[in-house]
Amino acid sequence: MEAFDTYQTPLSSRYASKEMAHLFSPANRFHTWRKLWLNLAIAEKELGLTQITDEAIAQMQANLDLDPEQFAVAAEEEKKRRHDVMAHVHTFGKVAPAAAGIIHLGATSCYVTDNADLIFLRTALTLLLSKLAVVISRFAAFAKEYRALPTLGFTHFQPAQLTTVGKRATLWLQELLWDLRNLKRARDDIGFRGVKGTTGTQASFLALFDGDHDKVEALDKRVTELMGFGYAYPVTSQTYSRKIDADALAPLASLGATAHKIATDLRLLANLKEVEEPFESTQIGSSAMAYKRNPMRSERICSLARHLMVLHQNALMTSSVQWFERTLDDSANRRITLPEAFLTADIVLTTLQNVSEGLVVYPKVIARRIHQELPFMATENIIMALVKKGGDRQEAHEKIRVLSHEAGYQVKQLGLENDLIERVRQDPYFDPIKPELDTLLDPQSFIGRAPEQVDKFLAEWVEPALQDPEFAAALQKGTKAELNV
């Protein structure tokens, strides 16, 4: 009952995946801190600090995970000391007494807090990359299936020349591929803060090793290796530059923009009754209007994507006000911003995958809308066909113009069907091309190279991107995305 009496963020309690929620959990955070302390001690011992014993290392290794009792001890320590890192230093020392005197030796708080955050950023980006690859594969299958199905195009949300359902999906896919590239670049660029000391000068470690600069450099490199990073940032202040947070959140914000565009297109298509997101047999669209099938998944994507785009601004502002070697006004902000950004991106991708796996296309509705608008679009073809038969282009244009306005009146003023073609058929002026009218009005003749563009794009861009071995496991799993709510 206690859980219902306390506010919980819906990002973790309502929407997020277990993997992403666990990554930013207290249990994982403090486990990571302990691993950082362990590897610091291992490296210091390797480089000659004799006060670090094998027993100390063994006890630290055996107690990397915290049980509920240790969380309670840490909470009490923090209440007393008003310092979360020192609270956990003391808590760790109680279960690893042989190491109590050497835990955190030479380090500043940011050794564990910042290095842990970099680990979380890199891991979170890796989780998102695999999810995004699956989303891309689903939309690619959709684009392939409907590569040649003509549909009315829209510019300014006004009827325009035809495209295909599959070609429209490639526009979504291209932006998702850019997001895949951007997330990968950001992930691969993340380094380790390393072992830099209180203001980044490594003075404390230089004192530990009696002024031996080579050993201090070796310590920095060794801990970086033990934590699985290819490099450490060459210079830092007390913290790693908060610009790195901004760089990590930038591709998330961009992904939010892509997802919002896709979901908005689907919401508009749902209104047109041409394409709908999944709708379960027992799902209720409205508490009052029982007939409704609201695009709630796409609306959720738009809602969360807006939040995701805004969070990047937070990281930029935090980066811009870090005075000299550090201030602490970043701390509380980052505790909220970083987890929320990745939890939100995770939820957006899960929901987008769920939508992509259950899209429903209504070809007859699409064909009916084409039939309503195509006569107007076919007028140029009719004029050119008449000219080929020896007609006068200007005279043909005037004839079509008059009939088009008459048909437009029927549609707009009387609410009737577009009867332009029937008017053409009844006018003797068009006798020379009447046998060709059906061909001139074939929607397939208005879609240009759309099907071929779909084929080429999938073969040359999408498939190579998905062949990255990093995504193999996620793509082979074939699991469909299930929403918690």
Lowest mean pLDDT among 25-34, 63-72, 130-139, 473-482: 473-482
**pLDDT tens, position by position, 115-124:** 999 999 999 9
Lowest mean pLDDT among 22-36, 90-104, 316-330, 424-438: 424-438
Write down the mean pLDDT value for the chain. 92
Q: Mind telling me the catalytic residues? A: 156, 286
**pLDDT tens, position by position, 356-387:** 999 999 999 999 999 888 888 888 888 888 88
Residue 219 has pLDDT above 60, yes or no: yes
- Name residues whose C-beta falls within 8 Å of residue 29's C-beta, 6 or more positions apart in sequence: 116, 120
What separation in angstroms does the CA of 161 have from each of 118, 128, 239, 267, 427?
A: 49, 36, 55, 21, 26
Give me the CATH topology for the region 20-107.
Answer: Fumarase C; Chain B, domain 1 (1.10.275)
% of the chain at pLDDT higher than 90 = 75
Helix (H) or strand (E) holding 34: helix 26-46
CA-based max dimension of the chain: 106
% of the chain at pLDDT higher than 70 = 96
Helix (H) or strand (E) holding 172: helix 165-189
Q: What is the mean pLDDT of residues 16-44?
A: 96
**pLDDT tens, position by position, 311-354:** 999 999 999 999 999 999 999 999 999 999 999 999 999 999 99
Residue 285 has pLDDT above 70, yes or no: no
- Nearest-Å Rg of the Cα atoms of the chain is 31
Predicted confidence band of residue 291 (pLDDT cuts 50, 70, 90):
very low
Q: What is the pLDDT of residue 282?
A: 46
Residue ranges of domains in the chain:
20-107, 110-193+236-280+288-365+459-471, 379-440
Q: Among all chains, which residue has been given the structure tokens 């995504």?
A: 471
The CATH superfamily holding the domain 110-193+236-280+288-365+459-471 is: Fumarase/aspartase (Central domain) (1.20.200.10)
Q: What is the pLDDT of residue 407?
A: 86
Would you mind telling me the total number of residues written for the chain in this entry?
A: 485
Q: Number of helices (H) and strands (E), helices first, in the chain? A: 21, 4
Residue 145 has pLDDT above 60, yes or no: yes
**pLDDT tens, position by position, 172-217:** 999 999 999 999 999 999 999 999 999 999 999 999 999 999 999 9
Are the beta carbons of 260 and 305 closer than 8 angstroms?
yes
Give me the CATH topology for the region 379-440.
Answer: Ribonucleotide Reductase Protein R1; domain 1 (1.10.40)
Q: Is 151 exposed, middle or buried (0-12, 13-18, 19+ CB in 10 A)?
A: buried
| CB burial string 19-39: b at 16+ within 10 A, e below | ebbebbeeebbbebbbbbbbb
Predicted confidence band of residue 432 (pLDDT cuts 50, 70, 90):
confident
